[in-house]
A and B are shown apart, each in its own frame.
Chain A
């Protein structure tokens, strides 16, 4: 009465991550075993017998490094993977499945025991294996194997007779083999089980995580999916997408990468120093969100694009200050209100939308923004049934307006010139080894974001409690997530 393990099909289909094993199994290992161009093999001397076809760790690493034109370290890593998967097994120290780049001996596993085979690794087989070893010599099982044996004995009790019978058969068949063959087979089998039933405390290379719910290699696509594909997505894909020429797009990509090159801490020096390297947090302190004086690098990023300016809270503050001087702060306030509407909580959304309408869009609104007739009409219509994207068209319009007009003027303005002039360019910090050790010992925790947010909320509450309730202060409360300091109220019109 065998209970077939129907759920786990260990064929390649449901083990998607192990699909690479096919590639390893067929190509690389066959090449490695080639008598002429493969890894050099030698004889292993046991007490009386010698067994051929043993290879050393350093030969494996050298061969891999040569074949793939990679460094020795990478070759070692790749070799270790082959051992961890069970394609090659170590002859000494058989429980540690790594490649040691020295004269330690290894051997190729027979294809019968390769991990990419179709049949699942059954507990029954493991039980037979353990029983067989027990028969051969009592007490030979290691502690963890003994525990496994007892466990299997308990829950496979119903077929234990079958298991013992199989074990005896295999033991007898083994005795009839020649001694060298038997030694080799024992090694192979032992290696196989070290891979598939790893000793405690070791990592199993066969671990692949969870099974996929839907078979990724299945040919059958369901009806619903096909309908989706044909009638809905593909037509829209070909027609509605505004595509650009490759040269334009790739050119823009290259431009982005080159302009940002000096700002990438992996490619250029981080001034004053990278906190992870020197354990000195000046870089983070100088670049905090609401710092008074920004660094030169930070200000340079604001010139790259309008989005960069808006995404940096300090940049946005500077821009807001400039707009206040030009008496056109309502554009930015409207944009911020729309962002808050889009990303805010679902509750209270229609009230927010109405607020924004009353403050910015209605006739005679206190902070009236200038958008064209069609957009205004569409927005007003949409507001009859407000949803979070109802102000999208208007927001886009205002965004483009700010980007094409205000942004350009900001970059040429006195406000920006002053900011650039005052921006600091920190010196590169050079620490001696002793100072680095000191820094490492003095690592301090920083202010928790929760505490920062609490402080901001208190500050806003104070501001609201102090002055008269003003529609502009209501708008300042709507500014995004309270992360920014509330903007100064604009002059009364």
Chain B
């Protein structure tokens, strides 16, 4: 049923440097060519070719944008809310906070669930990264980082390691151990190196690779063992603030959102930017839903009374509910199909920095700048991409 169409990817010798690698299909002077990602970057950095000016490039880019809009509009034959009319309404949710995890000394900036559905890792402004058993409220491990503002943390799929990073411009992997007295900081592995702060990191399908996004405008894929850069992704013109992997059959794409108001979908193999979605500045406090297969925006989730921007989003297991953590200290829950707000969660005393649904969908955890995490509960989508407001 999840019939994702596969992108034809070409491998082979690059037209420029002849090394065999995954290739990007690009146009140079209207001729289709295949370059490896390294040559593409080199070419872009060489500056304007003969006969071009900045103005002419701008015009060119504007006309191409228009052409893209036209292409998208051709297949636009139905709206989401039209199809959603036949679906029954979501019954009233009563969501309560079940656990409050206290222990961080300062703002909690990020959190991630472990695949065992009860453990989670959280990182904070005071430089500490704590691994909790959410169910029993035990703190299992605490790692002091050498920098403050640890903005990204991730749990490895096997549950045996965590990755975190922030203002130190690096992403480090810490293998966890059962020995309580062991100094985890001693076994730290520095994996990613960026030229600016690390805003997001996630493991791919295994413990061996990490995907990172950074304030320097790039995302990168790294090999954990060797620290080698496997692929870098250029295309954002401002800080990249977040990223997420696609749960598709082939598992080869991910999406990144940046300060340049764009959300880009990338192919992990070649580094090519496969799709791009741009928002307009006027609506800065709403969530948007983009259909990747039809390549367009299908829904906007906003309300007059919501003045503040969203910092983090996650879907529930079926994809019907969208949890958004907002800067006005609340969490709004939207009905994805019908577009209305279903419920609101209060309780935090400062802005909500991260919201994540647990792997089996039984609860949602929200991390906030009020130094706590809350796990709440009430009685994964290969097509969709949600862009939250870039405030």
Q: Give A contacts to B, CB under 8 Å.
A: 16-20, 23-24, 28, 64, 68-71, 73-74, 77-78, 80-81, 203, 207, 210, 212-217, 221-238, 240-261, 263-267, 269-270, 274-277, 279, 281, 283-284, 287, 304-307, 339-340, 342-347, 378, 382, 385, 387-390, 392, 396, 399, 443-446, 448-453, 480-481, 483
Contacts and interface: CB of A to CB of B under 8 A. Distances in A.
Nearest to B161: A450
Contacts of B274: 237, 241
Contacts, number: 372
B207 A481 contact: yes
Interface in B64-81: 64-65, 67-68, 71-72, 75-80
Given A257-B320, A265-B377, A249 B217 contact: no
Contact of A227 (B57, B133, B225): B57
A24 B196 CA distance: 32
B223 A345 contact: yes
8 contacts: A81-B308, A234-B64, A234-B65, A251-B83, A254-B83, A260-B320, A287-B360, A346-B208
Nearest to B364: A266
Q: How large is the interface on B (under 10, 10 to 19, 20 to 34, 35 or more residues)?
A: 35 or more
Contact of A252 (B1, B95, B98): B1
A345 B225 contact: yes
B383 A237 contact: no
A252 B383 contact: yes
Given A267-B316, A449-B116, A347 B225 contact: yes
Given A223-B47, A387-B20, A228 B228 contact: no
Nearest to A22: B284
B118 A223 contact: no
A203 B350 contact: yes
Nearest to A340: B206
A343 B224 CA distance: 11
Contact of B208 (A240, A241, A345): A345
A212 B1 contact: no
A270 B316 CA distance: 14
A449 B259 contact: no
B360 A305 contact: no
A252 B350 CA distance: 38
Contacts of A444: 136
A214 B308 contact: no
Would you call the interface of chain A mostly helix, strand, loop, or mixed? helix
A481 B58 contact: no
Interface of B: 1-3, 5-7, 9, 11-12, 20-22, 24-28, 40, 43-45, 47-48, 54, 57-58, 60-61, 64-65, 67-68, 71-72, 75-80, 83-84, 87, 90-91, 93, 95, 98-99, 114-119, 133, 135-136, 138, 140, 149, 157-160, 167, 176-178, 196-197, 204-209, 215-217, 223-226, 228, 230, 234-235, 237-239, 249-250, 259-261, 269, 272-276, 281, 284-285, 291, 293-296, 298, 303-305, 307-309, 316-321, 327-330, 336-337, 344, 346, 349-350, 360-363, 369-370, 375, 377-379, 381, 383-384, 390-391
A445 B316 contact: no
Contact of B178 (A229, A231, A306, A450): A450
B217 A214 contact: yes
Nearest to B378: A266
A226 B61 contact: yes
Contacts of B330: 74, 77
A306 to B, nearest CB: 8
A389 B318 contact: no
A237 B276 contact: yes
A187 B151 CA distance: 38
B167 to A, nearest CB: 8
B205 A244 contact: no
Chain B CB within 10 A, most for which of A23, A73, A267, A378: A267
A203 B352 CA distance: 13
A210 B149 contact: yes
Contacts of A229: 57, 61, 64
Given A254-B84, A450-B159, A214 B238 contact: yes
Nearest to B118: A446
B47 A276 contact: no
B357 to A, nearest CB: 8
Contacts of A253: 80, 291, 319, 337, 381, 383-384
